[in-house]
Structure 1
Amino acid sequence: MRKLIYGMNLTVDGYVSAPGDDIGWGESSDELFQWWLDQERAISLFLYGRRLWENMSAYWPTGDQQPGATPAQIEFARNWRDTPKVVFSSTIDKVDWNARLFTGDAIAEITRLKAEDGGPMRVGGATLARAAMRAGLIDEYEIVTHPVLVGDGKPFFGALDGWSKLNLVEARTFSGGVTLSRYETRR
């Protein structure tokens, strides 16, 4: 059975984006970017909701060709292009960059993918991830908290049908006051 990981950058008040899908509040550093790259290299399949897919596919296909791209950004772009992806959406018609489009029941498909042999999967996009969370499919949370309050926006967590107990497996502080808390779901 494959592991399903949900991890994103978020604000202290728990939002992955401010109103208007604004993510300009993040504290960027080479150290944090390198950590994300190391995590992404271990993923064998990305699962994207539409909005995150649109954001990622607008930049990363050519991220390694951007002026001033760091070695980590170059490697991130290459890894992103090479890693298989599933995009869950009923409103777009086509995806590319080593991705396939899935328009059916997202939870049924994620459950099917989890049951397969293979390396870890990462679910991205708060709406898709919250549905997987509610279905009890998330095995690990990577919570990268930035020292900012935005007051409103798209939350990282959503309503659950019951409690989900977690075990802390890693805690770390990056430059700029960004913190990582990585948890595994107790089964």
Structure 2
Amino acid sequence: MRTVTFTMNISLDGYCDHTMATPSEELMNYFTATMDDVDLLFYGRVMYQMMYPYWTDVARDQSGSEAENKFAERLCAIDRVVVSTTLDAEDAKTRIIRSNPAEELLKLKQQPGKKISVDSVSLLPELIKAGLIDEFYFVIHPVIAGHGRPLFPSGSLNELLSLRLLSTRTFENGCVAHHYLKP
């Protein structure tokens, strides 16, 4: 069975907002490395629209830093599934599903392949409740956002989820990456 990972940038006060910090070269290299064993991305509509076409353009035009270009190339090479009731597939690497994300992810998890990376805050509680997330990568940025989308809205999880810390890495820009495993 394939491993399903969840990766997210968060502020010290638990908000997920891509505008809160600018990643360093070192951090971009870390994110690229987390995708080494990934062959499928599983997105919600909001995250998908935030990532594409931005990173597609960077990969095509080589318009970022060296680390950003490598990240963009790796990201854009991976097939993706997007959960959306409004989007249509934009390219051959993207498949849209309309409903039952947990059921669809379970089917994908049972197929042969490498890791599946989930990148959707909105789908996270449902996928955790279904027992589908195996590993978590949280990158904590040294900022207090004070507002934004929380990682978990109050009441979105009904029970405690205990995790086992596998590794911690501190970056020069003050970010700290934690890699956790669901026991």
TM-score (norm 1): 0.90
Q: Which residue in the other structure is 1:24 paired with? A: 19
Q: Which residue in the other structure is 1:177 paired with? A: 174
The answer for unaligned runs of 5 or more in structure 2 is none
Q: Which amino acid aligns with 1:94?
A: A
Distance (whole Å) between structure 2 residues aligned to residue 170 and residue 179 of structure 1: 10
Task: Please state how far the C-alpha of 1:104 moved relative to its aligned partner.
Answer: 2.1
Equivalent residue runs for 1:1-187 within 5 Å: 1-17=1-17, 23-64=18-59, 65-67=61-63, 69-96=64-91, 98-158=93-153, 159-186=156-183
SS of residue matched to 1:160: coil
- 4+ residue stretches of structure 1 with deviation over 3 A? none
Q: 1:132 to 1:71 in 2, by over 3 A?
A: same
The answer for unaligned runs of 5 or more in structure 1 is 18-22
TM-score (norm 2): 0.92
CA contact (8 A) 1:27 1:178 kept: no
CA contact (8 A) 1:87 1:95 kept: no
Q: Give the helix-richer structure, 1 or 2.
A: 1
Q: 1:141 to 1:83 in 2, by over 3 A?
A: same
The Cα RMSD (Å) is 1.5
CA contact (8 A) 1:81 1:97 kept: no
Task: Please state how far the C-alpha of 1:36 moved relative to its aligned partner.
Answer: 0.4
